[in-house]
Structure 1
Amino acid sequence: MYCDVQNETRHKLLIEVGKLPHGSTLFVLKNQNHLGRIVVALGTHRQEVFEMTPQEREGYFADVAAAAKACMELFHPDKINYGIFGDGVPHVHMHIVPKYKDGLQWGHFFWDKGLEEVTLSDEEYAKMVAQYKEKLGI
């Protein structure tokens, strides 16, 4: 899904923000049940973290750290949760999920199954994308 820019599921679930300094791609999730939620996808196709070269790993996690810092500065969550799954989408990507005290799933792992989807207006998505682009200089 992340390798194929024409992938229908990708366009249904994600909005591409842009390329990060080390080649990863930043996406905003359309389901914003955790406000500010994003995904950082590795720029080259790898299914597993151990398949990455040391340079890819270092660059990827630098991109993840920069994106997470931007999320923290833009949305001020109390904590950020990180998730790498991949059995449904076999491409290294990390979910960056801002969590808020007294908010959805505080004190528990994040999981979308069975939850109502929270969608924003086109203007709100555009604003979020612009905020991430400005904060990250992309």
Structure 2
Amino acid sequence: MFVLDSRLQQDSLVLGDLELCRLLLSKDANYPWFILVPRRAEVSELFQLSAADQQQLWQETTRLAEALNGEFAADKMNVATLGNVVSQLHMHVVVRHRDDAAWPAPVWGKVPAIDYAPGQVEAIQQRLRALLGNDLKEA
């Protein structure tokens, strides 16, 4: 049974589910920072996914990154799976701008997180639903 890691629960907001992944938004308004978590039990490495799930993860990651790139006019899209702190397999998809708070360094811990203003998360969720269509379902 899939259970979202407690650290991911603490540090992010659930936006919905794609075919394979739960889509999260990092609780840091410094960056449009999204996280895809395959809804598979006890998976910490890419190679632990079936070949079909690996392909699906890459398709969802690519589609999300492409949509975000256009929507947020990215200078660069950062896509990575690291898992040194949270072992549950998850893919970071971060929109980067040359004038963001951490450019060009990684976003982790560079500056304190900023909370989203009221309504911002709902607006992002609506924009994603428009971009991803019926592929993004309620979690």
Q: TM-score range by the shorter chain?
A: 0.7 to 0.9
In 2, the alpha carbon distance for the partners of 1:99 and 1:122 equals: 23
- Give unpaired runs (5+ residues) of structure 2: none
In 1, the alpha carbon distance for the partners of 2:30 and 2:99 equals: 14
CA RMSD in angstroms comes to 1.8
**How many equivalent residue pairs?**
132
Which residue identity is paired with 1:121?
A
- Go from structure 1 to structure 2 and tell me whether the alpha carbon gap of 1:11 and 1:50 turns closer, same or farther (over 3 Å shift): closer
In 1, the alpha carbon distance for the partners of 2:69 and 2:59 equals: 15
In 2, the alpha carbon distance for the partners of 1:88 and 1:10 equals: 10
In 1, the alpha carbon distance for the partners of 2:63 and 2:112 equals: 29
SS in 2 for 1:63: helix
In 1, the alpha carbon distance for the partners of 2:15 and 2:78 equals: 20
Q: TM-score, normalised by structure 1?
A: 0.84
On the 8 A contact 1:80/1:98 being kept in 2, the answer is: yes
Q: TM-score, normalised by structure 2?
A: 0.84
On the 8 A contact 1:17/1:133 being kept in 2, the answer is: no
Which residue identity is paired with 1:60?
L
How far did 1:71 drift?
1.1
Which residue identity is paired with 1:20?
L
Following superposition, which runs of at least 4 residues in structure 1 exceed 6 angstroms of deviation?
none
**Which residue of structure 1 aligns with residue 58 of structure 2?**
61
